[in-house]
Amino acid sequence: MPRLDPTLEDYTTIISTNLGSTILEIQGELNLPQSKPENLTPEEEELFIKSRVPKLLNTTDEVVRDAVRFGRLELEPGFKKATLFISNSQRLVGSVEKVDPPLGVLRIVKDDNNGLEECQVVDVISHKVVFRLRPLPIM
Amino acid sequence: MELYTSLADNESANKKIKLQLIELNEDILKSMKNNEKLYLKSNSTKSYPVIVTDNKTYKIRKQNHSNCSMLMNMDRIHRIMDHGDKDIIMTSHERFDNQLILSVIDPVLNTSKVPVLENIEQLLTISKNNLTLSEIFTDSSCSTQQFKKLVVDQMLVDLNNNDDESMTGCYLLSENVVIDILRLILEWFAKNVDQSQISVAKDGSLESPFLQSFKIGDCVKGVIELQAEKLDHDEMAAPEEMVKSVVKKFTTFDVEIEDDNMLQKVKLKNPDVIRLFGISLLKKSFGSVPIDDFLINLKSRLPFGYNPDIKLDYLKGNYIVENVGVKQQIRYLDESDLSLDVIKRFKELFGMKREWKVEEIEPFVNRFNTKNTKCEKFLIKYAKVKKVGKKVIVTSR
């Protein structure tokens, strides 16, 4: 799947920082495979993509990893309500909340030569999408 | 919008790049907006790291949570789908089960490696050190501005720029060394103030002539000359850096221009001078002494010609007044010698004296009043506070 870099226009259509970061919070844990399983059916194969590791987490030009789809997010206009559909049977209802105080994304890079770590606050997140309720069935 | 999560985000512990979420308070955000540098530091004698702005220090603590918090990153993929060929997706490459939280703390200067000079001559015998102020700053939990203040407050002197190449490193000055140098400074002030020039303060009271201001450069130069006149051949003179440090600690700027500008005008901080001499005298007194005798002794210890106002209040937090017969007596009591447990501290204080005035007990318990509530209100939690005539008395429960 060829990919394009997101444009600024894209960022304004969803909740994200100018660098395209968002925090999504779910109660409990997401159970996901550690790696992409082999011998998948064509339907299962559709759940996986090759995802480019963002520059935040990458020092080299292009690193690609397997990623699995775990849901679909729908935000109501005005971002008052958020719905997260997980598979075809469950949905979570949540909201966009203000993060107060805002959270900084601290990037810590280890220098292999001297063992020192360099820290940089690379992004500031002031809102997050939170799902606090139990999953509801999709009727 | 479809959401994905990377399958290799928990790959290995020795990843070269790690992301961590950190709470940013208003002060930190303001520093970032002003493009000021923030420093992450760790004091080798403390177990926690700190983040410092230009003038504040924040302790960093890890707060764990049980939520699945994902940092999603927007991406745009091109694929053939029913509804079009462009699709915005979000992918999580990092999950967090904790975030860093900040709490403001008092700055700490780490002087554990800095030798203390008990007298000037020790400079000749003490083993040399190569410490620099910059190294001490890196190893201290404090911001740049707080460091500058602590260096002066704790009498840390940097001799690395001294003309005499045999003098290197940083030293802490003991109380005795500070008093010796301060005596010379006071003598210089006494010689140079115009005793007849008594000005009127804003509140209408008469100001001591010892509040006249002088250029810091003239003062340091004058003190070094005075020192040279007074010393015997076998005595060692205090280096200029030490004189400058003591001048800085016991004077205040009229208007602060910039660091180390020798043309800056300074005037004596008389309460601080009295405090140092007073505490030193109290420490040397055995047990309690009558207040009148103590005040006479204190006056006699000050250099000839230096006659500032002397108030017991300047020694706050370092003494206790006791009624012995009809006379009131004073004795040394260091706040830092008392228990760090608030209940035990109140017990200790009432063990020494059954009744306290609010202003007397306040300096000994103030560190526990973290919410800065009115002292009387704070005291009610641990003691009985009652009015006797116009006085408010604090007793044990």
pLDDT in tens, B298-342: 999 998 888 888 888 899 889 998 887 778 899 999 888 899 999
Q: What is the pLDDT of residue A29?
A: 77
Is the bond into A101 cis (omega within 30 degrees of 0)?
A: yes
Work out the minimum CA distance from A64 to partner chain B, whole angstroms: 10
Examine the pLDDT at B90 and tell me if it is beyond 50.
yes
* B78 contacts A69? CB cut-off 8 A: no
Work out the minimum CA distance from A108 to partner chain B, whole angstroms: 5
Lowest model confidence (mean pLDDT) among A38-42, B14-18, B207-211, B380-384: B207-211
The third-level CATH classification (topology) of the domain covering B269-333 is Arc Repressor Mutant, subunit A (1.10.10)
Work out the minimum CA distance from A10 to partner chain B, whole angstroms: 8
Work out the minimum CA distance from B91 to partner chain A, whole angstroms: 8
CB B276 within 8 A of CB B175: yes
Work out the minimum CA distance from A69 to partner chain B, whole angstroms: 4
Confidence band for B35, pLDDT divided at 50, 70 and 90: confident
Q: What is the pLDDT of residue A5?
A: 54
- Enumerate the residues of chain A whose CB falls inside 8 A of the CB of residue B29: 101-102, 124
Q: What is the pLDDT of residue B343?
A: 93
**Helix extents (H) in chain A:** 8-11, 42-45
Work out the minimum CA distance from B377 to partner chain A, whole angstroms: 31
Q: What mean pLDDT is predicted for residues B283-292? A: 87
* A16 contacts B32? CB cut-off 8 A: no
**Which of B14, B74, B86, B92 should one mutate to test binding to chain A, selecting the residue with the greatest count of A CBs within 10 A?**
B74
Which residue would you say has higher pLDDT here, B12 or B35?
B35
Which of B145, B141, B158, B71 shows the shortest CA–CA distance to B103?
B141
Q: How many residues does chain B have?
A: 397
* B7 contacts A65? CB cut-off 8 A: yes
Q: What mean pLDDT is predicted for residues B226-231? A: 86
What is the predicted ipTM? 0.83
Sheet containing B214-215: which strands, arranged edge to edge? B214-215, B265-268, B251-253
Confidence band for A97, pLDDT divided at 50, 70 and 90: confident
Mean pLDDT, chain B, rounded, equals: 84
Highest mean pLDDT among B244-248, B286-290, B325-329: B244-248
Q: What mean pLDDT is predicted for residues B352-379? A: 89
* A13 contacts B68? CB cut-off 8 A: no
Task: Identify each DSSP E strand in A1-139 by its residue range.
Answer: 3-4, 21-26, 48-52, 64-75, 82-86, 90-110, 117-131, 136-137
- Enumerate the residues of chain A whose CB falls inside 8 A of the CB of residue B73: 20-22, 54, 56
Which of A51, A48, A120, A127 shows the shortest CA–CA distance to A82?
A127
Q: What mean pLDDT is predicted for residues A94-105? A: 88
Tokens read off for B8: 């290799």
* Domain definitions of chain A by residue range: 8-32+70-137
Q: Which residues contact B91 (CB under 8 A, 6 or more apart)?
A: A51, A67, B3, B4, B5, B6, B72, B73, B75
Q: What mean pLDDT is predicted for residues B349-362? A: 90
Residues B24 and B21: their CA atoms lie apart, in Å, by 9
* B40 contacts A119? CB cut-off 8 A: yes
* Domain definitions of chain B by residue range: 2-104, 116-266, 269-333, 334-397
B24 → closest Cβ in A32, A103, A108: A103
CB A30 within 8 A of CB B94: no
**Whole-model pTM over 0.80:** no
Highest mean pLDDT among A19-28, B82-91, B363-372: B363-372
Mean pLDDT, chain A, rounded, equals: 78
Helical pair B240-250 and B216-230, crossing angle rounded to 10 deg:
120
- Enumerate the residues of chain A whose CB falls inside 8 A of the CB of residue B51: none
Q: A5 to chain B: nearest residue by CA?
A: B76
pLDDT digits (tens, 9 = 90+) for A4-33: 455 545 444 556 676 678 888 988 777 777
Q: What is the pLDDT of residue A82?
A: 85
Examine the pLDDT at B168 and tell me if it is beyond 90.
no
Neighbours of B369 (CB within 10 A): 16
The residue assigned the tokens 């082999």 is A38
Examine the pLDDT at B77 and tell me if it is beyond 80.
no
Q: What is the pLDDT of residue B9?
A: 47
Question: How many interface pairs between A and B have CB atoms less than 8 angstroms apart?
Answer: 185
CB A25 within 8 A of CB A129: yes
Q: What is the pLDDT of residue B210?
A: 59
Q: B27 to chain A: nearest residue by CA?
A: A101
Work out the minimum CA distance from B18 to partner chain A, whole angstroms: 5
Tokens read off for B160: 């690395």
**Which of A121, A123, A128, A130 should one mutate to test binding to chain B, selecting the residue with the greatest count of B CBs within 10 A?**
A121
Residues B235 and B160: their CA atoms lie apart, in Å, by 22
Work out the minimum CA distance from A136 to partner chain B, whole angstroms: 18
CB B88 within 8 A of CB B179: no
A25 → closest Cβ in B9, B67, B74: B67
Q: A36 to chain B: nearest residue by CA?
A: B7
**Which of B32, B36, B85, B91 should one mutate to test binding to chain A, selecting the residue with the greatest count of A CBs within 10 A?**
B91
Q: A27 to chain B: nearest residue by CA?
A: B67
Give the percent of chain B with pLDDT over 90.
37
* B16 contacts A110? CB cut-off 8 A: yes
Q: How many residues does chain A have?
A: 139
The residue assigned the tokens 């002060």 is B27
- Enumerate the residues of chain B whose CB falls inside 8 A of the CB of residue A21: 71-74
Q: Which residues contact B318 (CB under 8 A, 6 or more apart)?
A: B275, B278, B279, B282, B332, B333, B334, B335
- Enumerate the residues of chain B whose CB falls inside 8 A of the CB of residue A125: 21
